[in-house]
Amino acid sequence: MIRFASLILLLLAGPIAAQELTLPAGARQLSDRASPLDSYDLPTGPYADGIVPARKTEGRVERITWRLQSGSSTTLQLLAPLRDQIVAQGYDVLFECEARACGGFDFRFGTEVVPTPDMYVAIQDYRFLSATRGNEVLSLLVSRNPPNGYVQMIRVTPVDAEVPPPLVIEEPVKQTVSLLAELERDGHVILDDLHFRTGEMTLGDGPFPSLGLIARFLKDNPDKRLALVGNTDDTGTLDANISVSTGRAQAVRARLIEEHGVAADRLEARGIGYLAPFTSNATPEGRDLNRRVEAVLLVN
């Protein structure tokens, strides 16, 4: 938990805390959206009387999300060390709540959340915190979808302020540590940076860093092969979903062969439709997470 909190500390650290910190292997950054000038409504209280009370802020807005292995940790256990770190950095906690006290469904959909699959929020299992430091504002949103936890940070810095320091560790290094370590540890990994148009089997233009990592892994491990497995949500018939999921897996296989030089006999492509859901299909967020392609490790 302390190692994960150090990632947030690294992001928030100003000139006073310039030490390099190690990115925890169990935490994987999913998105980083920064706007040089934008607005953000910072929640300042729970949902009440049909609204989420908020303070409108303007400036440089960063929206960053992570996924981590949460195990049996509660949302409070995930949030508490992050809260300690931002307080240590000089932030004052303005408002904090857990799912029901926040307003449940109404608060969740009344505040800004990065779209799935980059952020997942369980309606009955999340915590929120907003904080200020001078003219800067920050919010943290934490939720779980066991065995994974999800963290969203939104930070607004005045346009005339010094730009906050970026992560010390570069993105390719971070992805190499997390995605390939996860593949070797668990025998499979979700390629969650891939993009398909809704209902289509054509893979987007990319670039998709995960495919470069997969190609390098196969080059460095000539005794291993991969099965690319397409998955869908439960909308429609099983036959139709198997067809779509197979087509998407085949599109990923073709991209690895044609653009990354992977030998065709090192890759299989299969689709299993909605037969192996990652989570429940009862919510839009769950259905988004279930539409995925996984790489499964095969040892000759």
Side chain identity at 94, as an amino acid letter? L
The overall longest dimension of the chain from CA atoms, in Å, is: 62
In a 10 Å sphere around its CB, with 0-12 CB exposed, 13-18 middle and 19+ buried, how is residue 15 labelled? exposed
pLDDT, tens only, 129-145:
999 999 999 999 999 88
Neighbours of 172 (CB within 10 A): 11
- Local confidence band at 26 (pLDDT 50, 70, 90 cut-offs): low
What is the phi/psi pair of residue 277, to 5°? -65, 145
Tokens 């779980």 sit on residue: 144
Strand order in the sheet with 188-190: 188-190, 292-299, 224-231, 267-271
Number of C-alpha atoms within 13 angstroms, CB side, residue 183? 28
pTM above threshold 0.85: no
Using one digit for the tens of pLDDT, what is the confidence trace for 171-203? Answer: 333 343 367 877 888 888 888 778 776 567 888
Domains of the chain: 2-157 (3.40.1000), 171-299 (3.30.1330.60)
How is residue 9 written in tokens?
Answer: 């500390």
